[in-house]
Amino acid sequence: MSTVQEVVTEAPVIEDAIPKKAMALGPVASLVILALLIATPLFVKNFIIFQMTMWLIYAIAVLALNILTGASGQFSLGQSAFYALGAYTSAILMEHGDINYVLTLPVAGLICFIAGFLFGLPALRLSGIYLALATFALATAMPQLLKLGVFEHWTGGVQGLVVTKPDAPAILASLGLKVSQDMWLYYFTLAVSILIYIFSVNLLRSRSGRAMMAIRDNEIAASAMGVDVSLYKTLAFGVSAGITGVAGGLGAIAVQFVAPDGYTIQLAVALFLGMVVGGVGWLPGSLAGAAFIVFVPNIAESVSKGLSGAVFGVILILIIFLVPHGARQIAYGAQGLIGKLRRN
Amino acid sequence: MPVFRSRAIAVSMAAALSIALGGSALAQKKYDTGATDTEIKIGNIMPYSGPASSYGVIGKTETAYFNMINDQGGINGRKINFISYDDGYSPPKAVEQVRKLVESDEVLFVFNSLGTPSNTAFQKYLNGKKIPQLFVATGASKWNDPKNFPWTMGWQPSYQVEAKIYAKYLMKEKPDARIAVLYQNDDFGKDYQKGFREGFGDKASMIVTEESYEVSEPTIDSHIVKMKSQNPDVVVSFVTPKFAAQTIKKIAELGWKPLQFVTNVSVSVGAVMQPAGFAAAQGVLSADYRKDGADAQWKNDEGMKKWSTFLDKYMPGVDRSDNSLIYGYGVAQTMVKVLEMCGDDLTRANVMKQATSLKDFTPDTLLPGIQISTSATDYAPIKQLRMMRFKGETWDLFGDIIAVEPNTN
């Protein structure tokens, strides 16, 4: 029991240090990052663009987890299950239903929202590490469910499903712009990410967002103030799952392939890692967290092929020791530094 | 000349230009991206980390083998630059790494990438770019599909070929058998199970029960007890090494004595037979195309002597009973053979053409009589196996080489 209490009492302590409004970046910093995200692909190879696309996609998934854990205070190790559900929804609609890839994303989001909301209902009875375990079960079950013979006609069973990569719309070519498939997909993903980011920031600033944060900080106090605890908790689950589903759909389109082995518990752990490294409850940190899970394994591999896992672990431990609040801490440090310089 | 995009065009144009300027002496040399007068760049994907990391030894063996070739002067004067990346057995990561190989490292082709899901994930990409995906390290039968995927080729006998050989053997030797099949519920197990059923044709009723298990299950004892209740007298296990050891052990513990088959993925003496217990493993049947590195019968074999010298010098201290060492050596040798056949025409089209023109090639580490032959319509290099029985502490080969015509998709 003591561990649970620790988790519960520790969480608000971390949050105390950060003002509630500061879940997003300031306008200047946002615009600089946006400009960089728009301009970079014009100067790099298609392969790097592909990596950047994956980075954005994982950033969306990390952001979704951040809404759940950072805002409503619920743990989840099962995000890979919703990611897989979104990926398969998009893939199946595109390959079997011949539906345009753009339209498959809202469907993926909606299906995952419903799935997340429904899963949120029984999860209401659990909290802290018990909830984490229940979602863990979801993540382990998912790859096996995808292999079931009953669905094999649609899912392709263990062999997975190959997805056709979309071309840039013809209108761009007629305007004289040569946009490769990768570049188009990147900008498409970027547009979706921006939409989701704006939606999330506004959600957290709204009445619902405040209600979620009130539940995170003190459930009893929140319900005393008239917040419908169970509704907002399940809603947080639904929204988080829905956004993860959209990320999954984008992932399927970018990788051009879905298979059960791509959505194991390792993905869920990676997303959780991304959230912690980016800073729990700080939405822009999702970008930093996703960069960590996409690029650091490559760095680790280039250091030592045989010991890549160990190198990755060492980097992770260093980060947890030096900056326990992740990228948020660095950003705040930098902000403080700039403030000091200005005053001088 | 295949068509390439963006940077690839620039590079091949530059290459073409340098050939034109170089005069007649260079006129016969033809290169695509990834090959020059001094170097051939080969890409590879291996699960050095993750659930299938034990196969990483294959990548290490290949790296060592190409180092040996380079020390001997390379192939027609060109050194091999072997770039091998880790995908952790995850398809999305494999796609990222293969794109890095093609677009950033600019390899001539991808060789022996491991894993059915990973290879499926980038098969379309490589075929679209007309880049050879040679000798993939998976036994799925779908790689033999020259019509739809002319740039992809397997190497080892497919799981279905192997399963059909067991079916053939059983129909001949034990026509009244009551067979129980245990298989892993994934692409690997299901490919075997399908091939096995097909092998029996209208005699499939000999199979009395089929049990499947998930690779994540810690033990499969309950499945074995369940199979026993159907009272079969033959147990065929389409399972991976850990589970093969468990199966053999559990069957012995139950005091049950059916005729047992294991796949050649699970024939390692060190990793399967020893943990299962030699006493329990007596009489187990399987089939193989490789020699066994720990088996004394190959002590004076010419090919295995070469293999042994190679290990002494380039991989000292490895566990010789690991058959990934045999596999990696054999497939790397086949690759070197193809590159030798290419001569000075190192275009992707010619690499593929030579890979489909192998004729009765015998790598050092394959069983005597097993020959590699390919053609423009036959993308299955190895399609022969020999039956063997576990006796004492080694496998005893018996009977003739059995060949089965593989399915083309």
Using one digit for the tens of pLDDT, what is the confidence trace for B180-214? 999 998 878 988 999 999 999 899 999 999 999 98
Q: Which of B202, B289, B195 is nearest to B236 (CA)?
A: B195
Q: What is the DSSP letter of B405?
A: P
Asked if A159 lies within 8 A of B187 by C-beta distance, the reply is yes
**Contact by Cβ (8 Å): B367, B290:** yes
Does the pLDDT at position B144 exceed 70?
A: yes
C-alpha distances out from residue A46 to A74, A185, A234, A258, B38, Å: 38, 11, 40, 21, 27
Cβ of A262 and B92 within 8 Å? yes
pLDDT value for B10: 55
pLDDT in tens, B212-268: 998 778 889 999 999 999 999 999 999 988 899 999 999 999 999 999 999 988 888
Distance from CA of B387 to the nearest CA of A (A): 29
- Residue B220's φ and ψ, nearest 5 degrees, are -115, 20
Q: Answer yes or no: are the C-beta atoms of B226 and B210 closer than 8 Å.
A: no
Q: Say yes or no: domain B6-156+303-378 is CATH 2.60.120.20.
A: no
Q: Which residue has the tokens 């020791």?
A: A321
Question: What is the domain partition of chain B in residue ranges?
Answer: 6-156+303-378, 159-288+386-403
Instruction: Summarize pLDDT for B36-45 with one digit per residue, the tens.
Output: 999 999 999 9
Q: What pLDDT was estimated at residue A14?
A: 43
How many other C-beta atoms can be found within 10 angstroms of the C-beta atom of residue B33? 22
pLDDT of residue B25: 43
Backbone angles phi, psi at B134, to 5 degrees: -95, 140
Instruction: With CB atoms and an 8 Å threshold, state whether A308 touches B49.
Output: yes
Residue of B nearest to A53 (CA): B96
- Give pLDDT, residue B408: 52
The total number of structural domains in chain A stands at 1
Q: What is the reported pLDDT for A333?
A: 86
Regions in chain A scoring below 50 on pLDDT:
1-21
Q: Which of B386, B364, B360 is nearest to B374 (CA)?
A: B360
Q: What is the mean pLDDT of chain B?
A: 89
Pairwise CB contact (< 8 Å): A159 & B99? no
Indicate yes or no: CB of A259 within 8 angstroms of CB of B91: yes
Q: A144 and B186 in contact by Cβ < 8 A?
A: no
Which CATH superfamily includes the segment(s) B159-288+386-403? Answer: Response regulator (3.40.50.2300)
- pLDDT score of A221: 93
Which chain B residues have a beta carbon less than 8 Å from that of A301? Answer: 48, 85-86
Would you state the pLDDT for residue A337? 87
Residues of A with CB under 8 A from a CB of B: 45-48, 50-51, 54, 140, 144, 147, 157-160, 162, 180, 251, 255-257, 259, 261-262, 264, 266, 297, 301, 305-306, 308-309
- So what's the pLDDT on residue A171? 82
pLDDT recorded at residue A341:
84
Q: Does residue A272 form part of some domain?
A: no
Distance CA A70, CA A15 (A): 9
**Is residue A129 included in any domain, yes or no?**
yes
Neighbours of A308 (CB within 10 A): 20
Q: Is residue A82 part of a domain?
A: yes
- Complex ipTM, two decimals? 0.79
* Any domain includes A139: yes
Q: What is the pLDDT of residue A4?
A: 40
Of the listed ranges B60-64, B214-218, B336-340, the least confidently predicted one is: B214-218
DSSP conformational letter for B182: E
Beta carbons within 10 angstroms of residue B350's beta carbon? 18
Chain B hits for A162, CB-CB cut-off 8 Å, are 120, 123-124
Asked if residue B29 has pLDDT above 90, the reply is no
Q: Which of B192, B241, B164, B200 is nearest to B402 (CA)?
A: B164
Domain boundaries, position A203 = 39-264
Give Cα A265 to chain centroid, integer Å.
15
Residue A147 lies in a domain: yes
B92:A180 CB<8 A: no
Phi-psi region of A281 (alpha: psi -120 to 50; beta: other; left: phi over 0): left
Segment B10-23 shows an average pLDDT of 50
Do the domains B6-156+303-378 and B159-288+386-403 sit in the same CATH topology, yes or no? Answer: yes
Contact criterion met (CB < 8 Å) for B216 and A308: no
Which contiguous run of DSSP H or E holds residue B45?
A: strand B39-46
**Which of B50, B95, B190 has its CB closest to that of A255?**
B95
